[in-house]
Amino acid sequence: MSILFNQVILSDYAKEILNDCINTGHFQADGKYTDKVIRFFHTHLSIEKIVLTTSCSHALEAALWLKNIKQQEEVIMPSFNFPSAPNAVLLHRGLVKFCDISLDTLCPDENDMLNRITPLTKAIIPLNYGGISCDLDLLVNAQSDNREWIIIEDSAQCVFSQYKNRYLGTIGDMGCFSFHGTKNIQSGEGGALILNHPDIPLEKAQNMVQKGTNRHQFIQGQTSFYTWVDVGSSYTPSDLLMALLYSQLLEYPEKLMIREQAFNRYQENLSPYIGYKGFIAMTKIPKYNISNHHLFYIRLDNQSTRNQLMKQLKDRNIDSRFHFMPLHQSPMGQRLGYRLDDFPNSRIASETLLRLPLHNHIQPHEVDYVSESIIDILKEL
Ligand SMILES: Cc1ncc(COP(=O)(O)O)c(C=O)c1O
């Protein structure tokens, strides 16, 4: 048996929708399916202000541009991260300030994040990790009314997850989603920017992603021609990709059920073995979250046990993975002046975490095979 880490299989329905889009002959942005995706987010997630982008990385770049980050202004985010958020800051010549994570959630340690705020801080970017979040109210409550610094949720992995009955990505002043091929809902590449900040109008974001033009208003019939009105770039996704995304959104309840069942099965199979042979922890969902079950990980007591386990799983054709390399330890993080021993929890998480196969098509017997293999291998280590 060979167990894939991620698998994408398009349903006949998804192919029908794609074919319909092909038949429209409209492949650029702002077609029928772009509109349907936006309406879906309005109706099902009560998101009023959203623009679709070509990636979460672009959504983060647009968010920092809308906040008007200037040279030397600071943005705080966890080091246990994907490079998109710090890249977005550096592209605006801002200063990247890392913080550490909590080992319970692998999300930012709220106090460490807040303690790093200075008068130069313009934004904090909590990463909602693998379907869950930190205790976001602690961050929101620390904001002053005049919002000297804003919260941009990096919710790349958390579409449809909730915090205290509100969708992740909609709680901070802005939120960013990813629809990359590795995510629960995907269009190969894609993303979205959600706006909640009272002073950032939707129109400004729409112009930004449309090369700084008011083309969106033109398409909506609100102006008779379109022209260059602001600074911007080309961040709008093709309607073909939005057709693919729309089919995934409609099919999501079924996909979520498969993920949730697999997640619960891993938990049931493996929880009796916590404390056994260096297996010390696994994904925990905080009480305040409802997870989209984006991922399931276990943690081992050291890097060597993790690496041996990963290798032996591979020998059994089971694809498990680890991530993230803490960004302060990366070549770029070193160029930014960080020390290797900064942010100890980020290093520990990176060295000891093992992600197990979990995707929209995984079968219960596959989850059982992975779980049994882990226990078998640990017995022999
Ligand atoms: C936390 C986080 N932020 C941002 C990204 C970038 O997303 P995209 O590939 O849509 O740019 C990812 C991708 O995996 C991610 O995990």
State the distance from the centre of ligand 1 to the C-alpha of 178, rounded, in angstroms.
Answer: 6
With a 6 Å cutoff on the Cβ, whether 47 touches ligand 1 is no
What is residue 147's predicted lDDT score, i.e. its pLDDT? Answer: 84
Residue-wise over 3-34: b if at least 16 C-beta within 10 A, else e? beebeeeeeeebeebbeebeeeebeebbbebb
Q: Which domains does the chain carry?
A: 12-250 (3.40.640.10), 252-380 (3.90.1150.10)
With a 6 Å cutoff on the Cβ, whether 186 touches ligand 1 is no
What is residue 144's predicted lDDT score, i.e. its pLDDT? Answer: 83
Ligand 1 atom nearest to CA at 324: 16
pTM surpassing 0.85?
Answer: yes
Q: Is the pLDDT of residue 97 over 90?
A: yes
CB atoms within 10 A of CB 294: 23
Element (H, E) at 196: none
Look at phi and psi of residue 140 and say left if phi exceeds 0, alpha if psi is from -120 to 50, else beta.
alpha
| pLDDT tens figures, 264-314 | 999 999 999 999 999 999 999 999 999 999 999 999 999 999 999 999 999
State the distance from the centre of ligand 1 to the C-alpha of 369, rounded, in angstroms.
Answer: 29
β-pairing, 166-167 with 162-163?
Answer: antiparallel
| pLDDT tens figures, 162-174 | 999 999 999 999 9
CB within 8 Å of 190: residues ≥ 6 apart: 52, 53, 54, 55, 178, 179, 180, 237, 241, 242, 245
What is residue 139's predicted lDDT score, i.e. its pLDDT? Answer: 97
CB within 8 Å of 166: residues ≥ 6 apart: none
The single-letter DSSP state of residue 151 is E
Average model confidence (pLDDT) across the chain: 97
With a 6 Å cutoff on the Cβ, whether 84 touches ligand 1 is yes
State the distance from the centre of ligand 1 to the C-alpha of 191, rounded, in angstroms.
Answer: 9
What is residue 1's predicted lDDT score, i.e. its pLDDT? Answer: 87
Q: Which residue in the block uniquely carries the two structure tokens 């629960």?
A: 184
What is residue 198's predicted lDDT score, i.e. its pLDDT? Answer: 87
Q: Is the pLDDT of residue 104 over 90?
A: yes
State the average pLDDT over residues 167-182.
98
Ligand 1 pocket test, pick from 84, 154, 177 with the greatest ligand atom count within 8 Å of Cβ, gives 84
CA nearest 306: which of 268, 273, 352? Answer: 352
Residue-wise over 57-71: b if at least 16 C-beta within 10 A, else e? bbbbbbbbbbbebee
Structure tokens at 372: 């049994």
Ligand 1 pocket test, pick from 55, 57, 64, 187 with the greatest ligand atom count within 8 Å of Cβ, gives 57
With a 6 Å cutoff on the Cβ, whether 55 touches ligand 1 is yes
Ligand 1 atom nearest to CA at 190: 10
Ligand 1 atom nearest to CA at 84: 4
Please, where are the H alpha helices in 210-251?
215-219, 239-250
Please, where are the H alpha helices in 125-214?
136-142, 202-209
CA–CA separation, 194 vs 174, rounded Å? Answer: 5
With a 6 Å cutoff on the Cβ, whether 346 touches ligand 1 is no
